[in-house]
Structure 1
């Protein structure tokens, strides 16, 4: 009789152990490898009008496996401006990774002899009309400028340089680039612009909308001093 009692007790122990094991693993997902994109070539490419753009490509991997990359965007190297090439890849669980390449097309012939350097005062931004100053300094290649305090905020934390490219005699672009306040920053010609575009430089100055953390999207008017 004693031996018969041990059997159901043992079976009960196995059943309880199995039930506990199922509870411990309930709702636990399997491991997923997020996509990693590796870009060939530079993130910003500068061409002269008439040059040929060659797509260098991006490689995407999940763990040790290479996966497909979707490329979206076109470059018209006959028209000065800025063009974006977007890359995206998905893993088998639907998680994505993205990368961005920006292609800037300059008309070097029309840029020759022009100069955007100088001090520009912000004279209008939404309700407050007057603001601070932006200083434009020429870079080491034609059409490249470093602009300090792009918002004309004249306040602590905004006095840093960002890169601007002149693309024609009276036009320039500010591509997406790291923002020292956080995230990224770029400039567009309108408040509703969702990506960089061509901005006009007139004899008196320019109007642009700065898109980035710490900046409102209202157009900012700057006049050359």
Structure 2
């Protein structure tokens, strides 16, 4: 009888240890290495119309392992001035994804003598007639600028960040969809209802001359048109 009791106790212990081992295994997790995509060369670049385009490519990694993008979308029409977006994407074995974009401006020779560097003030803010914030334009290279206040918002640090603007032909500018510091993406169009790649008229001139009007499309911005005049 004692032997039977002993055997039952041993059997129960074995079952208990097996159950514990099973529970322990349930806490073991697999390491997931997220994909990363690093652009080779500039994210925003320009070249003259008609010149051959060579994609600089990307470096894709999953952990320390070098890989290739799963998909590259977007084309560049070297014969038509405009801004073209190339998107590179990668998904790892667990379904986690990464994507990165490159913006290519095909520019006409008519922009080579243009320089919009300067300060431009919004003519009014909301329903007020008081001049609003100042936007600083900086020329990066022929046909490419940064604008640090697309909304003309006064004295609010959250709205002061660089948005890239292309001058594609004559005095036509394009603000492609790009990351918005306030979240999501941002771009500007000639009208609120315009397409994402609308060409906007820029009117260069001396201080006090009206220069451009655009609608900002992005989280944190209103839907009214905004007019800017050169002040410096």
Confirm or deny a common fold (TM above 0.5).
yes
Residues 111, 65 of structure 1: alpha-carbon distance in 2 compared, 3 angstrom cutoff? closer
Q: Structure 1 runs of 4+ off > 6 angstroms?
A: none
1:5-32 Cα distance to aligned partner (Å, 9 max, x none): 2111011011122223333444865333
Find the aligned partners of 1:10 and 1:69 in 2 and give their Cα distance: 55
Residue 43 of structure 1: how far off its partner (Å): 1.6
Find the aligned partners of 1:211 and 1:26 in 2 and give their Cα distance: 48
Residue 124 of structure 1: how far off its partner (Å): 6.0
Q: In the alignment, which residue of structure 2 is the partner of 1:86?
A: 87
Residues 129, 105 of structure 1: alpha-carbon distance in 2 compared, 3 angstrom cutoff? farther
Find the aligned partners of 2:21 and 2:195 in 1 and give their Cα distance: 51
Q: Is residue 130 of structure 2 the alignment partner of residue 166 of structure 1? A: no
Residue 87 of structure 1: how far off its partner (Å): 1.0
1:29-75 Cα distance to aligned partner (Å, 9 max, x none): 53332222233332222111111111222343333363552011011
- Matched length: 224
Find the aligned partners of 2:98 and 2:195 in 1 and give their Cα distance: 20
Q: Is residue 9 of structure 2 the alignment partner of residue 9 of structure 1? A: yes
Q: Secondary structure at the match of 1:149?
A: coil
Residue 97 of structure 1: how far off its partner (Å): 0.9
Residues 33, 145 of structure 1: alpha-carbon distance in 2 compared, 3 angstrom cutoff? closer
Find the aligned partners of 1:18 and 1:209 in 2 and give their Cα distance: 67
Say which of 203, 211, 231 aligns to 1:205. 211
Find the aligned partners of 2:133 and 2:59 in 1 and give their Cα distance: 42
Residue 199 of structure 1: how far off its partner (Å): 2.2
Q: In the alignment, which residue of structure 1 is the partner of 2:60?
A: 60
Residues 68, 81 of structure 1: alpha-carbon distance in 2 compared, 3 angstrom cutoff? closer
Residue 165 of structure 1: how far off its partner (Å): 3.0
Q: In the alignment, which residue of structure 2 is the partner of 1:220?
A: 226
Q: Which moved more, 1:32-41 or 1:207-216?
A: 207-216
Q: Which moved more, 1:30-39 or 1:79-88?
A: 30-39
1:89-140 Cα distance to aligned partner (Å, 9 max, x none): 1122222111111111111x21244443454342467655654143444536
Q: Give me the CA root mean square deviation.
A: 3.3
Aligned 1:1-225 pairs, distance under 5 A:
1-26=1-26, 30-63=30-63, 64=65, 66-107=67-108, 109-123=109-123, 131-139=131-139, 141-157=141-157, 158-175=159-176, 185-191=186-192, 195=196, 197-202=198-203, 204-224=210-230
1:130-160 Cα distance to aligned partner (Å, 9 max, x none): 5414344453643444434321111231455
Find the aligned partners of 2:185 and 2:52 in 1 and give their Cα distance: 28
1:180-225 Cα distance to aligned partner (Å, 9 max, x none): 5566644344435685553221464322233445433443233446
Gaps of 5+ in 1: none
Residues 162, 96 of structure 1: alpha-carbon distance in 2 compared, 3 angstrom cutoff? closer
Find the aligned partners of 1:65 and 1:7 in 2 and give their Cα distance: 56
